[in-house]
Chains A and B, each alone.
Chain A
């Protein structure tokens, strides 16, 4: 029965995607992208990927929409309509679609347990996790411990993107005095309902972010989702109270420190592993009991990931928002 629901969601997704391509108003296109991300997240949940669904909803439907809208505010929000002939692109696209559809006939049956992807390392991970790491969420175990190098690289990719955006757009310089006088336009001073409800909700959003961060070992969650949720709470504060207030709450220096600090924490745990006699990123030596050491290691590196993601997303948002055109 759930497969019918999945088919319904996927059909909606295809319709939304076509509407995105046809929309001339870029604001409409960005909003439809948010809807498409949410549909993809719902579909991930139907396909038994709870962690991925949470990440796609938080990062794809939340932060991505905010970044696109910030970029739209700094550029134009309409697409110039084209009269040029685009049959060549359309023909190439249709031929490529037919080729890919032809290729999908060779795929193993959807959901078959004998598919090649289920036969190599995955059963080993599912079998050995209770013995080596003993946490319920296997995805976090694989992400944090078995494939820890990949996650280290990913943290550094996030850091690099933050550095890149700061290079391109400046780093939220102190607002000019003329801007201070008109600071009424950067905050919703006359909008009582949004301010009251927003201020009421921000502590709960932060609490939820912390819950997701530290519950990553027991249920869906982890550093990336938590970083996105906490960043979303601070962005909400910045939208309600104004840029200058938000920069006073979390100054630019603190954000830069968070960005680098999380990555240093992660790499530092790896080096501590080496100093204590094991390999790089070997958590078993962090404590007298190897299993407890693994759990402690995963907890610390997830904290590092969450810190870096929060700092980077906030730094990127402030870089966009402080750049007045």
Chain B
């Protein structure tokens, strides 16, 4: 039973690590502020859920698990809000998203 829990938590932690890595690569490779924020949101949401769930399996049923659930809820509530605030601030400051040059955009970026 312990081995099964260990394997599950390893798998979850590895997947969470991959999600964080993907977010990091996206933050470096994306051309524009808004697309970069979109890439990092993978880290904030999927990465956080996977890593914290993996640690919850390691902690078993104890007070630590409840604290981890509280942390996860807090993160899931605040990270998207922070991204929203960042995007609003960038828009107010005048940073415009990159437009596709094919002319099909009806101002979806503005």
Contact between A and B in the complex (any CB pair below 8 Å): yes
A191 adjacent to chain B (CB < 8 Å)? yes
> Is B88 in contact with A191, judged by CB distance below 8 angstroms?
yes
Q: How far is B82's CA from A201's CA once the two chains are assembled, in angstroms?
A: 13
> Is B78 in contact with A201, judged by CB distance below 8 angstroms?
yes
Nearest chain B CB to A299's CB is how many angstroms away? Answer: 23
B36-90, CB < 8 A from A: 74, 77-78, 81, 84-85, 88
Q: How far is B88's CA from A200's CA once the two chains are assembled, in angstroms?
A: 20
A 161-201 binary contact with B (CB < 8 Å = 1; else 0): 00000000000000000000000000000010110011011
> Is A201 in contact with B77, judged by CB distance below 8 angstroms?
yes
Nearest chain A CB to B17's CB is how many angstroms away? Answer: 13
Q: How far is B84's CA from A40's CA once the two chains are assembled, in angstroms?
A: 28
Q: How far is B28's CA from A215's CA once the two chains are assembled, in angstroms?
A: 42
Interface residue count on the B side (C-beta < 8 Å): 7
Interface residue count on the A side (C-beta < 8 Å): 8
Q: How far is B46's CA from A80's CA once the two chains are assembled, in angstroms?
A: 40
> Is A200 in contact with B85, judged by CB distance below 8 angstroms?
no
Q: Which of B74, B81, B84 has the most CB of A within 10 A?
A: B81
> Is A194 in contact with B77, judged by CB distance below 8 angstroms?
no
Main secondary structure of the interface of A (DSSP, over half): helix
Q: How far is B82's CA from A191's CA once the two chains are assembled, in angstroms?
A: 12
> Is A191 in contact with B77, judged by CB distance below 8 angstroms?
no
Residues of B within 8 A of A204 (CB): 74
Q: How far is B81's CA from A194's CA once the two chains are assembled, in angstroms?
A: 6
> Is B77 in contact with A197, judged by CB distance below 8 angstroms?
yes
> Is B78 in contact with A194, judged by CB distance below 8 angstroms?
no
Q: Which of B74, B77, B85 has the most CB of A within 10 A?
A: B85
B 10-45 binary contact with A (CB < 8 Å = 1; else 0): 000000000000000000000000000000000000
Q: How far is B74's CA from A201's CA once the two chains are assembled, in angstroms?
A: 9
Nearest chain A CB to B67's CB is how many angstroms away? Answer: 11
Q: How far is B85's CA from A200's CA once the two chains are assembled, in angstroms?
A: 16
> Is B84 in contact with A193, judged by CB distance below 8 angstroms?
yes
> Is A197 in contact with B88, judged by CB distance below 8 angstroms?
no
> Is B85 in contact with A191, judged by CB distance below 8 angstroms?
yes
Q: How far is B81's CA from A200's CA once the two chains are assembled, in angstroms?
A: 12
Q: How far is B77's CA from A155's CA once the two chains are assembled, in angstroms?
A: 35
Q: How far is B78's CA from A198's CA once the two chains are assembled, in angstroms?
A: 9
Q: How far is B77's CA from A83's CA once the two chains are assembled, in angstroms?
A: 46
Q: How far is B74's CA from A198's CA once the two chains are assembled, in angstroms?
A: 12
Q: How far is B77's CA from A204's CA once the two chains are assembled, in angstroms?
A: 12
Residues of A within 8 A of B81 (CB): 193-194, 197-198
Closest to A194 in B: B85
Q: How far is B77's CA from A193's CA once the two chains are assembled, in angstroms?
A: 11
10 additional contacts (CB under 8 A) given A194-B81, A197-B77, A197-B81: A191-B88, A193-B81, A194-B84, A194-B85, A194-B88, A198-B81, A200-B77, A201-B77, A201-B78, A204-B74
18 intermolecular pairs with C-beta atoms under 8 Å apart:
A191-B84, A191-B85, A191-B88, A193-B81, A193-B84, A194-B81, A194-B84, A194-B85, A194-B88, A197-B77, A197-B78, A197-B81, A198-B81, A200-B77, A201-B74, A201-B77, A201-B78, A204-B74
B residues apposed to A, CB below 8 Å: 74, 77-78, 81, 84-85, 88
